[in-house]
Amino acid sequence: MSPKDVEKMKLAIIGAGAWGTALATSFAARHEVALYCREPEVAEDLRACRENRKYLPGCRLPEAVRIETEFARAVRGADLALVATPLAGLRGAARALREHAETTPLLWACKGIEARSGLLPHQIAEQELSAGVPCAALTGPSFAAEVARGLPTAVTIASSRLEFAEQVCAQLHQPKFRLYANDDVIGAEVGGAVKNVMAIAAGIAEGMGFGLNARAALMTRGLAEMARLGLALGGKRDTFLGLAGMGDLILTCTGDLSRNRSVGLALAQGKPLEKILQELGHVAEGVSTTREAARLAFQYSVDMPITQAMDGILFHGISAEDAVSVLLTREPTKE
């Protein structure tokens, strides 16, 4: 299907942070977009300046994007809803969608593992949406600022219903925002979640001056951890060699725009985690995901030494130096 053959849709994007604003900017070129913003001051600024100065400064929001502060108005008549909040907001958004637009298909662009429940995003959606509502994850290597600027990006639409994923790809695919369908939603979500843990580790390694050899080794072994957990949960190995696995891992561990890598860099400087998160100003999903990934690794008897080391640093008072020492003194095994 060529771009000119795509029927114009009504999209409701839930969440006016950096990612929601970037997606609204990208999709407004071809579709009718409503952007739901729960912060009145941000909404007012968006309407007045057509710029999200709090979360995505320097990127102009198209005039065609409609800013809404009432959820019901934002999703009314939508052909597709897209949740672009942090993972902690997915459950509430899905619940509200069921109340106000019960049959509207749903995408989510959040990544992680839900705190305390240990659930992946699709499991949260299954609990909150009406039975039979089509849904999928939008995931892969993508920084919001680059998407908003129209720089080339490729991501995955993952759903247990491959036909729905292919339909969404056909509708939203653009020359510079390329979408690829995948039926392995578990693998895609595990990749999107655990790569943030590895990015924190990569930041620590870089901050401690370990060099590029160490980063390459960490990313490679981190990919193995991601795949082991994904397979234990029911994912497919090939997914971890694609955009939602290796692609997202490479970007998040090496890119200067990576929030989770920034957390690792600050930890290597000896800053307290609470202060780091306060100064960051955005959610770093890898922090809470680390704890949940470590719990899942224990529950499913999956060997995840890097994840366990990050859990020790973030939540159990272990210094970065001691955690690295444990990793470096592990007995050698077969790759």
Q: How far apart are CA 56 and CA 276, in angstroms?
A: 20
Q: Which of 4, 10, 176, 195 is catalytic?
A: 195
Q: Rounded to 5 degrees, what are φ and ψ at 143?
A: -95, 135
Cα–Cα distance measured from residue 8 to residue 230, given in angstroms and rounded to the nearest whole number = 36
Give the DSSP letter of residue 174: B
Enclosing H/E stretch for 60: strand 56-60
Ranges of beta strands (E only) in 70-184 are 80-83, 106-108, 135-139, 153-158, 177-182
- Whether the CA torsion 244, 117, 294, 300 is positive or negative: it is negative
Opening angle at CA 136, ends 200 and 86, nearest 5: 40
User: Look-up: residue for tokens 């444990």?
Assistant: 326
195 is a catalytic site residue: yes
Q: Are 124 and 91 in contact (CB under 8 A)?
A: yes
User: Quick one: residue 179, left, alpha or beta (phi over 0 = left, psi -120 to 50 = alpha)?
Assistant: beta
The catalytic residue positions are: 195
